[in-house]
Structure 1
């Protein structure tokens, strides 16, 4: 069932229930008022006849004549008087005899008064106590006008109820369709966006309503999806390019070796060259594997260590300086806490060490003098690690893309590498819900700053 049908059905059911309750209440009130008024009139006639016949002992024929000349006669009115033996001793209209069960007469004697209906007649019975015994006077009549009014009221309310239900259902269908029309437009536009036009976006109204916020959310999602497609295409293109070169070199060297018979030394040289190319392929595969393993979905299982950053930076200095004798790493600390454990964060020690090592090695590699400076600072909420060097600045046009996989600027085109390191660093820091920024200006040091929260993270 569609949302439009559900909304229409619920709206119609709600309004119908309210209208039905109101109409039932109106009918019940009218029925109660008309019945009570008619029973009151019958009770008055029964008491009047009983007083004249039983208490004042007027002649029965005189009472009948008085009843006939009165102008307030009710339709099919009849008054009966029963003695203590349940025998009729007086009746005003013998043509309309009504059989009264003895059990009803016993109830009237016990309760003193009783109103009831029998075969379309309204009856009101009253008990009279005298020295000669108990008498029961019952007045009966047909409530022609009251019953006719109630029938017409019932028909009018029934017709009006179904008319209101029909109008409500039509209005609910119309207004539900009007309210859901933006959703239909969103569905149509989103269906047209993929795969034909990924750059198209939903229109956002000025009204700050749910549809506008949903459209904004969908537009942001589409931006992320488009960016993912762009990165995927770039990733595949770069991987293909990086794999193509060593594979082509391997194939060319092997083909040349097979053209003619050579000395063993030549074959050994070719094999060593092929092994170097295979090593490059293995290194590239290892880098891609590391990059694919760092995902946000794995945060719960990965970030379980308590990592002392001051210990990591000392280990990294030793590892980087051991890579190349030219590399020199200096470590500085800002204002440190009294408790050394406050320099710890929740995370993965191996991943953080990999990220800091990549940044430090890059800083030394691209420094004019092979030196890098690691600065560690502390505040109650964040730990900040800055890695800087003095060398050729990163062009401003390249800064937005340096964390993308396989991105190589002209400045680093002749440097051995695959462009995976900074992308891996950015993904590791994002996995730790930290921040990484880079500032690079001509004549000033290039600084990579990492901020890691000291608060316990929830995943």
Structure 2
């Protein structure tokens, strides 16, 4: 069922329920008022007849004559008086229309006064005492006008209920359609965006309503999806480029070697060159494998170690120093906390070591003198690691892309590498719930900061 149909049904059901409760209340009030008024009139007639016949001993024929002369007769009115033996001692008409059982007369004597209905007649019974005898006076009549009014009232309220319910349903259908029209526009626009118009976005009105906020959220989602597509295309293009170069070199060298007979030393040179290219492919494949294995969904299974960061930094320093003799790494741990638990975080030691190694190695590689400075700061909730060096500043045009995979600026085009390191660092740090950022301005240090949270 569509949202429009559900809204229409719920709106119609709510209004119909309120309307039904109102109409039932109106009918119940009218029924109670008409019935009570009619019973009061019967009570007065029964009381009057009892006073005249029983208390004042007026002749029954005179009472009948007076009754015929009165102008306030009710439809099919009759007044019957029973003695204590349940025998009729007086009846306004010759033959009583409604016979009453002895049990019912006993109830009236016990209750002293009783209003009830029998078939289409309203009856009111009253007990009288006189000369040590008990009498029961029962006045009965048909409430023709009241019943007819209630019947017409039921028909009118039923017709009015159906009419209002139909109008409510049509109005609800129209209002729901008008309210959901922006959703239809959003659905059509989003359907048309992919794959043809990826740069198109939803219109956001000036009103601060749910539709506007939804449009903003969808536009932000489309921006992220568009960025993902661009990153994917760039990733594929860069991987293809990085793989094509060594494969082309391997292929061309082997083809040249097969063109004619050569000296053994020439074949050995070719084999060494091919082995070097195969080594580059292996290194690239290893970095791609590392990049693919760092997944946010695997955080629960990867972050199982208690890592002491000061020890990890010294170990990484030794590893970087072993890579290249000119690399010199200075570590400044600052003021260490008294509590050794503040030196640790929950994470993966191997991954954190890889991230720090990439940052420190890059700092040495792009430094003027091969030096890098590592500084740390520990507090109750945060561990901050700053890695800085002196070298050429990162161009402003390259700064938004330095953490994207396979992105290499013109400064790094001549250096060995694949542009995976910083992307891997960013993924590892985010996997640990932290963040990495970089600042680089001409004349100042280039600083990469890693913030890890407990």
Common fold by TM > 0.5 = yes
Q: Check the 8 A contact 2:5/2:173 in 1, yes or no.
A: yes
- DSSP 3-state at the match of 1:274: helix
Q: Check the 8 A contact 2:121/2:141 in 1, yes or no.
A: yes
Question: Aligned residue for 1:447?
Answer: 447
- Equivalent residues in 2 for 1:239-278 (5 A)? 239-278=239-278
Question: Aligned residue for 1:348?
Answer: 348
How many angstroms apart in 2 are the aligned matches of 1:248 and 1:95? Answer: 125
**Structure 1 residue 198 and structure 2 residue 225: aligned?**
no
**What is the CA deviation profile of residues 137-173 of structure 1, one whole-angstrom value per residue up to 9, with x for unaligned ones?**
1111111221121112112211111111112111211
- DSSP 3-state at the match of 1:290: helix
**What is the CA deviation profile of residues 119-145 of structure 1, one whole-angstrom value per residue up to 9, with x for unaligned ones?**
311111112223353222111111122
Question: Aligned residue for 1:287?
Answer: 287
Question: Aligned residue for 1:419?
Answer: 419
How many angstroms apart in 2 are the aligned matches of 1:282 and 1:306? Answer: 31
- Equivalent residues in 2 for 1:212-227 (5 A)? 212-227=212-227
Q: Check the 8 A contact 2:342/2:379 in 1, yes or no.
A: no
Give ranges in structure 2 of 5+ residues lacking alignment. Answer: none
How many angstroms apart in 2 are the aligned matches of 1:316 and 1:404? Answer: 24
- Equivalent residues in 2 for 1:320-331 (5 A)? 320-331=320-331
Name which of structure 1's ranges 232-241 and 337-346 shifts more when overlaid on structure 2: 337-346
How many angstroms apart in 1 are the aligned matches of 2:443 and 2:57? Answer: 132
- DSSP 3-state at the match of 2:208: coil
Q: Check the 8 A contact 1:81/1:88 in 2, yes or no.
A: yes
Deviation at 1:302, TM superposition (A): 1.6
- DSSP 3-state at the match of 2:148: helix
- DSSP 3-state at the match of 1:124: strand
- DSSP 3-state at the match of 1:221: helix
**Structure 1 residue 438 and structure 2 residue 448: aligned?**
no
Deviation at 1:96, TM superposition (A): 5.6
Deviation at 1:184, TM superposition (A): 1.0
**What is the CA deviation profile of residues 396-420 of structure 1, one whole-angstrom value per residue up to 9, with x for unaligned ones?**
2211111111111111111111111
**What is the CA deviation profile of residues 25-71 of structure 1, one whole-angstrom value per residue up to 9, with x for unaligned ones?**
11111111111111111111111111211222211110111111122
Give ranges in structure 1 of 5+ residues lacking alignment. Answer: none
Deviation at 1:336, TM superposition (A): 2.7
Question: Aligned residue for 1:51?
Answer: 51
Question: Aligned residue for 1:20?
Answer: 20
- Are residues 339 and 98 of structure 1, via their aligned partners in 2, closer, same or farther at CA, if it must alter by over 3 Å? closer
Q: Check the 8 A contact 2:368/2:390 in 1, yes or no.
A: yes
Deviation at 1:444, TM superposition (A): 2.2
- DSSP 3-state at the match of 1:114: strand
Q: Check the 8 A contact 2:80/2:96 in 1, yes or no.
A: no
Deviation at 1:199, TM superposition (A): 0.7
- DSSP 3-state at the match of 2:35: helix
Deviation at 1:106, TM superposition (A): 2.2
- DSSP 3-state at the match of 2:137: strand
Name which of structure 1's ranges 385-394 and 316-325 shifts more when overlaid on structure 2: 385-394
- Are residues 262 and 156 of structure 1, via their aligned partners in 2, closer, same or farther at CA, if it must alter by over 3 Å? same
Structure 1 runs, 4 residues or longer, greater than 6 Å off? none
Question: Aligned residue for 1:119?
Answer: 119
- The count of aligned residue pairs is 454
Name which of structure 1's ranges 240-249 and 102-111 shifts more when overlaid on structure 2: 102-111
Question: Aligned residue for 2:75?
Answer: 75
- Equivalent residues in 2 for 1:10-409 (5 A)? 10-94=10-94, 97-131=97-131, 133-409=133-409
How many angstroms apart in 2 are the aligned matches of 1:273 and 1:134? Answer: 133
- DSSP 3-state at the match of 2:204: coil
Q: Check the 8 A contact 1:76/1:96 in 2, yes or no.
A: no
How many angstroms apart in 1 are the aligned matches of 2:115 and 2:299? Answer: 81
Deviation at 1:222, TM superposition (A): 0.5
The CA RMSD over aligned residues, in Å, is 1.5
Name which of structure 1's ranges 281-290 and 271-280 shifts more when overlaid on structure 2: 271-280
How many angstroms apart in 1 are the aligned matches of 2:413 and 2:97? Answer: 120
- DSSP 3-state at the match of 2:356: helix
How many angstroms apart in 2 are the aligned matches of 1:60 and 1:377? Answer: 117
- DSSP 3-state at the match of 2:367: coil
How many angstroms apart in 2 are the aligned matches of 1:398 and 1:44? Answer: 103
**What is the CA deviation profile of residues 349-384 of structure 1, one whole-angstrom value per residue up to 9, with x for unaligned ones?**
111111110111111111121111111123333221
